[in-house]
Amino acid sequence: MPIDPLGQALLSIARNAIGLRFGLESSAVAPHDALSQPGASFVTLTQKGQLRGCIGSLEPFRPLATDVAENAIAAAFRDPRFPPLSRDELARTRVEVSLLETAQAINFTDESDAIAHLHPGVDGLILTHGHRRATFLPQVWESLPEPRRFMAQLKLKAGLPADFWDEEISLARYRVKKWKET
């Protein structure tokens, strides 16, 4: 199935941004009205289906084209979980761009109620407690399909114990439109 014009533009912007760091030529990016509008995106890099980097923005604060380019560079060279991408790796690296919708707060009474409000496979989730914050894109449900485990791993990502719960935790959900290189 062909990728729509916005998706093709975002994938090209992401790959071009990384390639420019290696002195490679850029491919043409078709103009699209959304590129100059504020947008929040995540850029995910994979190799043979395994995560190689993922960095993004949860809220729109700059033009979408800039957001995607900056997040692509960060995913390739500044994700603390991985060494910087090498030029040799670029050809075998696949790019995915997720465009985030505005996050919506989830109202809940306790952890069980919060988990009951989740839509596995659909919701991205932001967990905040004090100065700690973490998110999982909706795509993470593919590897963590059980809602309790999804929540436990998100708490770990935020630097909290997996079994931690406090009434000060806040949750927000968002959905994404995503495009992936084949």
- How far, in Å, CA of 169 to CA of 182, rounded? 38
Please report, for residues 13, 24, 56, the alpha-carbon distance to residue 70 in angstroms, rounded to integers and kept in the order given: 10, 17, 9
What's the distance, Cα to Cα, between the start and end of the chain in Å?
Answer: 10
Q: How many CA atoms lie within 13 A of 12 on its CB side?
A: 16
Q: Model's pTM, two decimal places? A: 0.94
pLDDT tens track for 34-77: 999 999 999 999 999 999 999 999 999 999 999 999 999 999 99
Supply the pLDDT for residue 157. Answer: 97
Domains and CATH numbers, the chain: 5-100 (3.30.700.20), 104-175 (3.30.1490.150)
Q: Are 77 and 84 in contact (CB under 8 A)?
A: yes
Give the per-residue SS3 of 86-147.
Answer: CHHHHCCCEEEEEEECCCEECCCCCHHHHHHCCCCCCCEEEEEECCEEEEECHHHHHCCCCH
How confident is the model at residue 3, as a pLDDT? 78
Taking the CA atoms of 161, 163, 167 and 172 in sequence, report the sign of the dihedral they define.
positive
User: What is the mean pLDDT, run by run of 10 residues, along the chain of 182 residues?
Assistant: 88 98 94 97 97 97 98 98 97 98 97 97 98 97 97 98 97 97 91
State residue 2's pLDDT score. 67
Structure tokens at 159: 């630097």
